Amino acid sequence: MAEKMKGKGVISGIAVGKIMLAGQNLDGYLKDYKPKKKADEKKIAADALIKVAANLVKTIEDLNKKNMKEQAAILEAHRMMVEDPAMSGAIDEQVDKTGSAPRAVLDAYESQAQVFEQMEDEYFRGRAVDMRDVGKRIAKYILGIKEPEIGEGKVIVAGQEIEPSVIAGLPSEKIAGVILGQGSTTSHAIIIAKTRAIPSIVGVGDAIEKMADGDPVIIDGDTGDILIRPTDEERASYDVKIKKQEELKAHYAELKELPAITTDGVKVELVANIGSPADVDAANNFGAEGVGLFRSEFVFMGKTDIPKEEDQFKEYKAAVEKCKGNLCVIRTMDIGGDKPLPYIQVGQEENPFLGYRAIRISLQRRDLFIPQLKAILRAGKFGKAGIMFPMVINVDEFKAAQKMVEDAKAELVHEGKEYGDVQLGIMVETPAAAVMTPILAKYVDFFSIGTNDLVQYTLAVDRGNAQIAYLYNHFNPAVLRLIKRTIESANKEGKWAGMCGEMASDPNAAILLMAMGIKELSMSAPSIPKVKERIRNISSSKAKEILDKVMEMEDGNEIKAYLSTIS
């Protein structure tokens, strides 16, 4: 019998492979290390920083050559952490305390990791892993430890925390699955796994300790089941599921180049939500026809100061170019409240979700907003771009943002920099905006409905509170009415409406939205095939019948149950 464990399945699918443990323990090596004089140890650490940075540059070049952009981007961030001048000072201080170069490196990066860990935002907390990873990489260099060999076959990477460099250093086709001890879904390992649809399980806790390198394992990303050293019978019991999965994958691959069009010819654009230009490559593999939401706050995170216009321009330009003539909608930074940045003073707030955030910050901070707008406008010259403002609640905010865009253009003209024609739109994610869409539609080029927030604000249900998650339902009739109103308002004014909240990835919701007249659905790329399949197998007239019936229903759960019977 296999050793059975359970975690929380976060990326569906079954994976078979050998365990590859991440997170090597260095204690033994540190004990054996014989430090020299403090001045020598400081020199050893300083030399290691230079060597490790140089090695990273080489690895990044190799990854880029192989088109492994996501991995290259992670290691690029690591290179910056190695070369951060503040870190070399912190390491010297630690050498004064401990006398050992590898110990000092680990301690210096550990204390920076702890700063990240105390941040409220889950994304920042996730970056603590990167800090520790970098510290360990440098310490391993000093201690002369080599990275493990992968060998034949596919691996399931497992670790309490999985160091991003482990994932980044492995060829994509080698990683069959991911098992994470802790429960975070925003760790790099999971972010990468999501864009590539690698089956993943999180939150297995100390069960990780029971796994050994090379153990054969089966994981089920739907149920969260893990079978270590399965017997032949246990393996065979998964064969049917695996076969089905392979067939589905092959079928989805066939859909890649086909449009999302109903049997009677109504087309919906299926596009991707991304956090970095590298995500566009993965999205294209799932047949995305562009980007409906580039969460630009990722460009602002993990930095100690406002990213320069030029640095932002490079990111946006790369994303726009990768969209190859399809629209790339870049959302201006949705930061503040629960997502703090060190260079924006928000202060303690009673209700961060109702606080100083997103467009509210942008409109008050020209020093942040204008460089971002200039960078996006310039990127627009390299393809088709859109600017989208988050958290808008009234017409005035849109007009003020529009005026800032004009100011940004004037600055570019003055500086002799070229810019493209970009569409201007808003996220409809507050009930106020949704109610006002008949007026807003006169001014904007497009709406993108952000249901993650629209549901939470309409129903007064915190989107992250598990205790009241049963109330969080995008089929709630109040939510559906706001969505329908938004789509109809756009269409009436000859503008387009899309959706970039999670609801867009629900195939049953897609039917209703299409019947309401939505033009674009934006989602995490691996969801595209299943939504496409649903749209391609229904007529718009049938979808309208379903919508009419749904709009007569009084309760969100009833609607959900009804839709599940017709799929």
Q: Would you name the residues annotated as active-site residues?
A: 188, 500
Per partner kind, with CB cut-offs from 5 to 8 A, the member of Mg ion, ligand PEP, none near residue 451 is ligand PEP
Q: Which stretch binds ligand PEP (CB under 6 A): 318-326, 375-383, 398-406, 450-458?
A: 450-458
292 interacts with ligand PEP by CB under 6 A: no
Per partner kind, with CB cut-offs from 5 to 8 A, the member of ligand PEP, Mg ion, none near residue 182 is none
Tell me the closest approach of the beta carbon of residue 472 to ligand PEP, in angstroms.
12
How many residues touch ligand PEP under the rule CB under 6 A: the total is 10
User: Which residues sit opposite 327 in a β-bridge?
Assistant: 384
Nearest to 267 by CA among 527, 537, 519, 533: 519
160 interacts with ligand PEP by CB under 6 A: no
Q: Which is nearer to ligand PEP, 24 or 423 (CB)?
A: 423
Q: Which is nearer to ligand PEP, 15 or 329 (CB)?
A: 329
Tokens of 234: 């246990």
476 interacts with ligand PEP by CB under 6 A: no
| Residues 163 and 184: beta-carbon distance below 8 Å | no
Q: Which of 91, 385, 500, 514 binds ligand PEP (CB under 6 A)?
A: 500
Interatomic CA distance for residues 181 and 252, integer angstroms: 31
CA-angle at 390, arms to 388 and 395, nearest 5°: 85
Tokens of 238: 């998964």
The residue length of the chain stands at 567
Q: Which stretch binds ligand PEP (CB under 6 A): 102-110, 121-129, 202-210, 447-455?
A: 447-455
Q: Which stretch binds ligand PEP (CB under 6 A): 125-133, 211-219, 449-457, 486-494?
A: 449-457
How far is the CA of 378 from the CAs of 48, 132, 274, 280, 405, in angstroms? 39, 36, 20, 19, 12
Interatomic CA distance for residues 23 and 397, integer angstroms: 48
How far is the CA of 430 from the CAs of 73, 204, 397, 486, in angstroms? 33, 36, 13, 11
Tell me the closest approach of the beta carbon of residue 491 to ligand PEP, in angstroms.
21
Per partner kind, with CB cut-offs from 5 to 8 A, the member of ligand PEP, Mg ion, none near residue 397 is none
| Residues 14 and 72: beta-carbon distance below 8 Å | no
453 interacts with ligand PEP by CB under 6 A: yes
| Residues 137 and 165: beta-carbon distance below 8 Å | yes
Give the SS3 label for residue 334.
coil
Tell me the closest approach of the beta carbon of residue 246 to ligand PEP, in angstroms.
32
Per partner kind, with CB cut-offs from 5 to 8 A, the member of ligand PEP, Mg ion, none near residue 295 is ligand PEP
List, in order, residues 6 or more apart from 411 with CB less than 8 Å away: 370, 374
Per partner kind, with CB cut-offs from 5 to 8 A, the member of Mg ion, ligand PEP, none near residue 521 is none
| Residues 33 and 251: beta-carbon distance below 8 Å | no
Using CB atoms, what's the residue nearest to Mg ion?
A: 453
Tell me the closest approach of the beta carbon of residue 535 to ligand PEP, in angstroms.
20
498 interacts with ligand PEP by CB under 6 A: no
295 interacts with ligand PEP by CB under 6 A: yes
Q: Which is nearer to ligand PEP, 94 or 524 (CB)?
A: 524
Per partner kind, with CB cut-offs from 5 to 8 A, the member of Mg ion, ligand PEP, none near residue 41 is none
Strand segments, DSSP code E, in 429-468 are 446-449
Give the SS3 label for residue 4.
strand
Q: Which stretch binds ligand PEP (CB under 6 A): 65-73, 236-244, 363-371, 448-456?
A: 448-456
Q: Which of 450, 498, 526, 529 binds ligand PEP (CB under 6 A)?
A: 450
501 interacts with ligand PEP by CB under 6 A: yes
What does DSSP say about strands 216-220 and 175-180: parallel, antiparallel, or unpaired? unpaired
Q: Which stretch binds ligand PEP (CB under 6 A): 209-217, 312-320, 451-459, 529-537?
A: 451-459
Tell me the closest approach of the beta carbon of residue 289 to ligand PEP, in angstroms.
18
429 interacts with ligand PEP by CB under 6 A: yes
450 interacts with Mg ion by CB under 5 A: yes
Tell me the closest approach of the beta carbon of residue 441 to Mg ion, in angstroms.
20
Q: Which of 334, 397, 506, 520 binds ligand PEP (CB under 6 A)?
A: 334
Q: Which is nearer to ligand PEP, 107 or 520 (CB)?
A: 520
H runs (alpha helix) in 323-380: 358-364, 366-379
Q: Which of 55, 88, 172, 452 binds ligand PEP (CB under 6 A)?
A: 452
Q: Which is nearer to ligand PEP, 323 or 454 (CB)?
A: 454
Nearest to 457 by CA among 478, 436, 486: 478
| Residues 33 and 100: beta-carbon distance below 8 Å | yes
Give the SS3 label for residue 422.
coil
Tokens of 317: 């330009």
Q: Which is nearer to ligand PEP, 288 or 293 (CB)?
A: 293
Q: Which is nearer to Mg ion, 262 or 437 (CB)?
A: 437
Tell me the closest approach of the beta carbon of residue 273 to ligand PEP, in angstroms.
7
Interatomic CA distance for residues 171 and 344, integer angstroms: 38
Nearest to 388 by CA among 346, 445, 435: 445
Interatomic CA distance for residues 2 and 553, integer angstroms: 48
Interatomic CA distance for residues 564 and 567, integer angstroms: 6
Radius of gyration of the chain measured on its C-alpha atoms: 25
Rounded to a whole number, what is the largest CA-CA distance in the chain?
Answer: 81
Q: Which stretch binds Mg ion (CB under 5 A): 70-78, 292-300, 344-352, 428-436?
A: 428-436
**Continuous segment of H or E residues that includes residue 522:** strand 520-523
Q: Which of 163, 453, 506, 520 binds Mg ion (CB under 5 A)?
A: 453
Q: Would you tell me which residues interact with ligand PEP (CB under 6 A)?
A: 293, 295, 334, 429, 450-453, 500-501
Q: Would you tell me which residues interact with Mg ion (CB under 5 A)?
A: 429, 450, 453
